[in-house]
Amino acid sequence: MTGKKIPFSPPDITDLEKKMVMDVLESGWITTGPKTSEFEKKMGEYLNVNNVVALSSATAGMELILKVFNISHGDEIITTPYTYTATSNIILHRGIKPKFVDVDKDSFLIDLEKLSEAITPKTKAVITVDFAGVPVDYDAVRKILKDKKREDIIFMSDSAHAFGAKYKGERVGSQADFHIFSFHAVKNLTTAEGGAITFNNNNFLGKEELKKELKITSLHGQSKDALSKMKAGAWKYDVITDGFKCNMTDINAAIGLAQLERYDDILEKRKLIFNIYNEALKNKEWATIPFDKNENNETSYHLYPLRINGFGESERDLVIQRLAEIGIATNVHFTPLPMFTLYKNIGYSINDYPNAYNQYKNEISLPLYSKLDLNDAKYIVEEVIKCVEKMI
């Protein structure tokens, strides 16, 4: 035993992040300004994507797209029930009841055949989810839309987990119409709170200058950002839409810039931990280890969602409890949305999504973060094995 408590996912903050934040604090400008623009530029270079809009959260990014394209009551949006509630809440906020499509059998990703069947004339958007950092088959989704003669449908990827993942050799960020990333405190790359929209086509669906429109709508619909307004004599501005307030600050962007500078090392460390778990578990008949990579795709190593074959919710929960008793924090990703009170109250039942339930009932997420000592990772997986094998 290590003799210490192992948390689930603390942020990886170094002196570089502290210095860059202090530089902003001492600059006299702390909200959206030059550092946010620099973060957007460097993110675009890293992801090889034309347009980046940095925001206060991934949730805000998804809702901002629905707002700008005026998707609301009477329209239909398809997504998966196997996700964090943010993916679905933004649909409810637009006055729409989400149309859930179950995940594929033995997968955490949306069932593409069922997705195709779910599209109707009312469908305005499809939101897929790159669970744990594993890319959805974007080209397959595009083919579905093409075959259905519905390329007017907006294809959004909730890529909150997938910063740094690869699809067919390219970093995730330009394959869907829009990718939305999260930089929350537990994500691979953090800005404390934050997110970004990435996309290639700045004139998508006939928009004249989409990036500018997204920026304006993220700042209460005002025609000038705060930095521009503060310049001497430049106080006048217009309000051109009923926008949100979800811009990223330069303080957050400074953290992100430091993280981006270190990101290759962060990703490599996560990969090492992932491989330690895989090596220990690969020959265990009771273990279904998560996807890491194949000839086409590679995860971002955001989560390690282990499945314990033959276990149900109660046995899985007991493993979590017993690990907690020796100081190892684990988690579950995710409780399918139809199991929550909010969704049950508006008519959803988990019985309609059997694959999602079967994935959830025996899933346990092991600690996976760049500050985790490799010896601690070995200890964690050894204790998981001991715990499970005492129960089977």
Residue 333's identity, in one-letter code, is: H
SS3 track for 91-138: HHHCCCCCEECCECCCCCCECHHHHHHHCCCCEEEEEEECHHHCCCCH
C-alpha to C-alpha distances, 126 to 145, 161, 191, 374, nearest whole angstrom: 10, 18, 27, 39
Tokens coding 307: 């499945």
| 3-class DSSP assignment, residue 372 | coil
Distance CA(334)–CA(357), nearest Å, equals: 10
The CA-atom distances, in angstroms, between 177 and each of 231, 246, 247, 251 are 35, 21, 21, 29
Spatial contact of 244 and 60, defined as CB atoms under 8 Å apart: yes
- Give the Cβ contact number of residue 231 at 10 Å: 9
Q: Which of 187, 215, 271, 361 is catalytic?
A: 187
In angstroms, the CA 6 to CA 160 distance is 24
Q: How far apart are CA 204 and CA 282, in angstroms?
A: 45
Which residues neighbour 295 within 8 Å (Cβ) at sequence distance 6 or greater? Answer: none
Is 149 among the catalytic positions? no
Distance CA 102, CA 290 (A): 19
* Sequence-ordered list of residues with C-beta below 8 angstroms from that of 2, at least 6 positions apart, any chain: 327, 375, 376, 379
Q: Rounded to an integer, what distance in angstroms lies between the CA atom of residue 20 and that of residue 307?
A: 40
Which residues are marked as active site? Answer: 187
